[in-house]
Amino acid sequence: MWNIVFYLDHRGKCPPLEFIEKLPVKEQAKIRNVLRLLQEFGTNLGMPHTKHIQGKLWEIRPGGIRMFNFAYIEQQLVILHGYRKQSQKAPEREIAIALRRLKEMTDEV
C-alpha cells in the first residue's frame, strides 16, 4: 500500500490540495478515484491513469485534470502540482512548476 502525500511549500501552503478543492465535486470524485488506485498499485499503475513525463516525474490523468507526482522514500507518492488539461501535450510551464517542487523536495533530503 502506497502513501499519498501532497507537496507543502515553505509557507505551509498546499497548492495541489487548494487546486483540487476549487474544482467541481464531480472532478474531485474522479481525482479521489485515481488517487485510490495509485495508493493500491503505486508505480505499477499505468495508462490510462498515469503517464511518465520525464525523469522521476509522472502524471496522473483523472478526466480533464492532470496532476504531477513522483515516487518518494518509503513508498510515498507526492502530488506536486495540478492543472486543467487544455491541449494534447503538457504545457512546459506546468511541467516547470512540478519539476521545481520535485527538486525542492529531493534537494532537502
Segment 63-108, tens digit of pLDDT: 999 999 999 988 999 999 999 999 888 899 999 999 999 999 888 5
Residue 86 region by backbone torsions, left for phi larger than 0, else alpha for psi between -120 and 50, else beta: alpha
Fold classification of 3-108 (topology level): YaeB-like fold (3.30.2310)
Read off the C-alpha cell for 81.
502540482
Q: What 8-state DSSP symbol labels residue 90?
A: P
Q: Provide the percentage of residues in the chain whose pLDDT is more than 70.
A: 98
Residue 81 sits at the vertex; the CA angle it makes with 75 and 87, to the nearest 5 degrees, is 120
